[in-house]
Structure formats: C-alpha cells, structure tokens
C-alpha cells in the first residue's frame, strides 16, 4: 500500500485529505461535538503533510444529508463545528468552504498557503459522492482533482465504500494512505493474515445477519468464537432453547445451525453464554434477574450475558495470542446490562498483559471503551471504522484500500 513518502517532495503542493469526521453531536441544538476522537485521529497525517511543506485541503462527511440533483447545502449537516474543533486542535485557522467543488471551494483553496489547512463542506451534500453510477462519481472526483496536486486517504471508516472522495479520486491524482489508514490496515492484518495463535474472536451486537459473512470467514480462520449480544439468541434458538421475547432472527436459525455444524467439523470452538441477565421488557427500570441460558422464561427478554458467562468468556480469552472483538455483549449504555461487556474488556486487557495483541473493532465496541471509562492505551488497537474493520475480518477486499495498492 502506497504511503505518503511515495508522493515525493510535497513542498508548496496542495494535498487533498479524505478524513472521517462523522462525529457525534449533542442533541440540544447547540451542535456541540460530544466525542472528537475521529478528529484527533486525523492530526498525525495532517501534521505530517504540513511538516512536509504542503497546504492541506481536508474533505469529510457528517451524517446523511439528502441532496437533490446537485450540491445542496444543509445546515443540519454542516462541518462548521468540525472546522472549529480542528482549528483548536491545530492551533491555527481552518476556513470552511461553503461548497465542495464550486466557487467557494475554489476560492478557499486558491488562497491557501503552504502550512495552512482548509476544510471543504460535507462531501455527501453532493449526490454524486455516493452515486452507484461510475460516471457521476468520476465527474465529482475530476472536479476535486482540480483543487490539488495529490490525494491522501485517511478516513478508515469509509474505505469500504466505493465513493468519489474515497475511490475515484485516487485513480486521478497521485494517491497514498495516510498514517491512520496505514495503521488500521497494519493492525487488523494481524488478525486476518497468519494471526498468532490461539486466535480468538468475540462477536456481539444486535443482529446475526450483520455478521453472517464474518462468522462464515472466521470459522475457517479462528480457533475460538465467543458469541454474545443480541445475536446470541439466534444461536441459542438454533440449539433448540427458548429465548423468550429476546431479539431473535428466526429466518437465520438454519444458517446458524449450519455454522455450528461447520465449526464442529473443523474443530473451531464456539462459546455461547451459560447465563443471561433478563428483564420483563426492554424498558423495565431494572433487571428481573439472571437465568440459565437454556432456561429463559417465555415472558422475559435477555439484555446481557450473565456473570458466569462473563467469567467463562474471560477464561476463554486468557490463553489467546490474538483477539479481535466486535460488538458489545449487552445493552452496555445501561449500567445494569454493562457487566458482560466489562467482563470482555477486562479479559482483553488481561490477555494483552500476557502478550496477546488485542483489537477493538470500532463502532459500538469503541464507544463502549469510552462510555465505560476504560483507558484506550490498555488495548493493542482500537479501530476508527466499525463497518470497515468488520469487512476486513470478513475477508473482503475494500475498494478504498485496493485502489492504494503499490501496483496501481
């Protein structure tokens, strides 16, 4: 994969950087950024380019605007809060263009001097960005290319998307991976390319269907799979157990039964919870108690793995040398149902201290680390891209990575 060094001397040049600034904003109307981790993650690449004598033009998205026909400004999705926070972190002004490739962008970039940074308005305000029509994306990319001399991909959270600012632009300008994307791919490759064994994967989250490809791929690669979260109930149902009113994808039961059979044939251990924290309903003010995983009452809903399961999962992580975790074990946002996720994180940390390389696969898993007050330094790698990291674990080729290959 091409790195920034492959771009040669950048003195006096303008470099387009695709970042992932899809940060959470407060819901009180002030548009305050509640977690700036993705902006902080982009700083090493931006600073490296500034140190190389370049002027940096950053492009990113925020939310899901719905443009009609052409670039459509939508105040609800403006990157203005991001520009303000980026300026604070860099200690220098970061002007925000009022469009993506139009007059404001052209004027803003033309005025940019080496050592300065500007931000283009939300790329997804242009419908061509996410178009399924190649020619439409390529037209946007051609306009973007007029603004700069080189392109750096540093938004790992979008490299699994075939989008104009991710894929097509890299086919026009000299292109390279930023430090964040390079670090992500390098770290995740430790779990996808000849991992040190035992290789254990912990999967959670709400739906089995979201992770079908991952499970299928990991049965061929992992030594052990630990299943929690809402998806555990489809596995329990596949074993013939009652799951009450818990989240269940009935149509996936035959598929899961096939996975269980394949895993048994290949000697891959699938570890399911042995107890579950249940409640009368999702909105109940408190848990109803803890029950055996094969004895969930028909009128109860499971919202977390139980304490015995937490101990079991931690024990199954203890001897691992490579661990990838994607998806919480329960509704961790509520303290009553955070115990399983805490147990997994504690297990990762303990394994890490014994020499394991631990990967937290972005998305809700990364959010749980922050929400539950854990130190990010206690994990080998915390991904910034939930979907992208999941697709890498699934064994997929990511368009935004493939286009940066050395042979291109």
Catalytic annotation present for 363: yes
Active site residue 38: yes
Res. 390: pLDDT tops 90 = no
Round to whole Å and give the CA distance between 206 and 211.
10
Of these residues, 98, 207, 334, 396, which one is catalytic?
A: 207
Average pLDDT on 31-42 reads: 93
Q: Rounded to whole angstroms, how far apart are CA atoms 397 and 403?
A: 10
State the pLDDT at residue 374.
97
Q: What is the pTM of this model?
A: 0.89
The reported pLDDT for the residue numbered 68 is: 87
Nearest-angstrom CA–CA distance, 324 and 357: 9
Residue 292: pLDDT band with limits 50, 70, 90: very high
Give the pLDDT mean for 330-347: 97
**399, part of any domain:** no
Question: Would you say residue 174 lies in a domain?
Answer: yes
CB 21 within 8 A of CB 87: no
For residue 122, give its domain range. Answer: 4-179
**DSSP labels for 45-110?**
HHHHHHHTT-EEEEE---S-----SS----GGG-SHHHHHHHHHHHTS---B-SSSSSHHHHHHHH
Mean pLDDT taken over the chain: 95
Tell me the average pLDDT across 261-275: 97
User: Is the domain of 34 the same as that of 106?
Assistant: yes
Name the active-site residue from 327, 363, 380, 386.
363
Domain for residue 407, yes or no?
no
User: Which of the four pLDDT bands, split at 50, 70 and 90, describes residue 179?
Assistant: very high
Binding-site positions read 20-22, 38, 61-64, 124, 161, 211, 302, 333, 362-365
Is there a contact between 214 and 390 (Cβ–Cβ < 8 Å)? yes
- Residues 68, 85 within the same domain: yes
Where is the binding site for substrate, in residues?
Answer: 20-22, 38, 61-64, 124, 161
Q: Is 128 a catalytic residue?
A: no
- Give per-residue pLDDT as tens, 142-177: 999 999 999 999 999 999 999 999 999 999 999 999
The count of domains in the chain is: 2
The pLDDT assigned to 102 comes to: 97
112-135 confidence digits (pLDDT tens) = 999 999 999 999 999 999 999 999
Annotated binding site for (2R)-3-phosphoglycerate: 38, 124, 161
Q: Which of 179, 204, 224 is the last residue of a domain?
A: 179
Which range among 29-33, 39-43, 84-88 shows the weakest confidence by mean pLDDT? 29-33
The average pLDDT across 287-294 equals: 97
Residues 334, 380 within the same domain: yes
49 and 192, same structural domain? no
**Residue 136: what pLDDT?**
97
Are 28 and 142 contained in the same domain?
yes
Q: What is the pLDDT of residue 212?
A: 85
Statement: residue 193 has pLDDT above 90: no
pLDDT value, residue 133: 97
């Amino acid at each position: 994969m091409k790195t920034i060094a492959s771009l040669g001397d950048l003195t006096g040049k303008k470099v387009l950087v695709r970042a992932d600034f899809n940060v959470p904003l407060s819901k009180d109307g002030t548009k305050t950024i509640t977690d700036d981790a993705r902006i902080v993650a982009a700083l090493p690449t931006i600073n490296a380019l500034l140190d190389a004598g370049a002027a940096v033009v950053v492009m990113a998205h925020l939310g899901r605007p719905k443009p009609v026909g052409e670039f459509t400004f939508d105040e609800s999705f403006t990157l203005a809060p991001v520009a303000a926070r980026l300026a604070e972190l860099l200690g220098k002004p970061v002007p925000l263009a009022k469009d993506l490739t139009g007059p404001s962008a052209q004027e803003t970039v033309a005025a940019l001097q080496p050592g300065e940074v500007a931000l283009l308005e939300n790329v997804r305000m242009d419908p061509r960005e996410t178009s399924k029509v190649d020619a439409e994306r390529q037209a946007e990319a051609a306009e973007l290319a007029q603004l700069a001399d080189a392109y750096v991909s540093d938004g790992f959270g979008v490299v699994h998307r075939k989008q104009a600012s991710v894929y097509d632009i890299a086919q026009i300008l000299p292109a390279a991976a930023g430090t964040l994307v390079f670090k992500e791919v390098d770290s995740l490759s430790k779990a996808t390319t000849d991992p040190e064994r035992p290789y254990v994967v912990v999967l959670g989250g709400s739906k089995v269907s979201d992770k079908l490809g991952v499970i299928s791929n990991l049965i061929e690669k992992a030594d052990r799979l630990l299943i929690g979260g809402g998806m555990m109930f489809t596995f329990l149902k596949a074993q013939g157990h009652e799951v009450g009113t818990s989240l269940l994808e009935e149509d996936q039961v035959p598929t899961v039964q096939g996975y269980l059979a394949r895993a048994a044939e290949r000697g891959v251990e699938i570890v399911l919870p042995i107890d579950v924290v249940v409640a009368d309903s999702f909105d109940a003010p408190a848990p109803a108690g803890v029950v055996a995983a094969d004895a969930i009452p028909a009128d109860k809903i499971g919202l977390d793995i139980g304490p015995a399961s937490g101990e079991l999962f931690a024990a199954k992580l203890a001897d691992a040398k490579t661990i990838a975790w994607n998806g919480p074990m329960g509704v961790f946002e509520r303290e009553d149902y955070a115990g399983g996720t805490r147990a997994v994180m504690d297990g990762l940390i303990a394994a890490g201290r014994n020499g394991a390389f631990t990967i937290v696969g972005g998305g809700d898993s990364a959010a749980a680390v922050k929400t539950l007050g854990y130190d990010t330094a206690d994990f080998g790698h915390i991904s910034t891209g939930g979907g992208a990291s999941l697709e890498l674990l699934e064994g997929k080729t990511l368009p935004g990575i493939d286009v940066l290959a050395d042979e291109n």
